[in-house]
Amino acid sequence: MLPLAARIGSVVSAGNSIAFGSVTAWRLHSYHLPVSLLLSCALCCAFVMLKATDRALFLWSASTYRCTVPGCAFTVRTQRVSAGERRRWQETAADHPAHDTAR
């Protein structure tokens, strides 16, 4: 079962996407488009908003571990992991085999 914050995030994400799709359909309705085109535009906008909101919530709630070598861009992002797994990812970020310092 998901934690309360994750469940609230899912509800917010779904509500946000439904609202955006509905507003899009409402605004396009005045142009007398065919129903199939109106529906496809509304669903597309709703899906894009769902993915954008999910991504924003992930970036907000995820933990990020970066390599400590200067110039290396290796990054690990985790979400809802146990303490042991979190420690393992921290160690992986600190000691990974190939540092990308060419940039």
Task: Write out the residues near Zn ion by the rule CB under 5 A.
Answer: 67, 69, 72, 74, 99
**Tokens matching residue 27:** 């605004």
The DSSP secondary structure of 56-85, one letter per residue, reads HHHHHH-EEEE--STT---EEEE-S--HHH
- Comparing CB distances to Zn ion, the nearer of 6 and 72 is 72
- Comparing CB distances to Zn ion, the nearer of 42 and 67 is 67
Q: Which amino acid is at 62?
A: A
Report CA Rg, the chain: 20
- Between CA 101 and CA 98 the distance in angstroms is 9
Q: Which amino acid is at 70?
A: P
Give me the least distance between CB of 59 and Zn ion, in Å please: 21
Give me the least distance between CB of 63 and Zn ion, in Å please: 18
- Comparing CB distances to Zn ion, the nearer of 34 and 70 is 70
Give me the least distance between CB of 102 and Zn ion, in Å please: 12
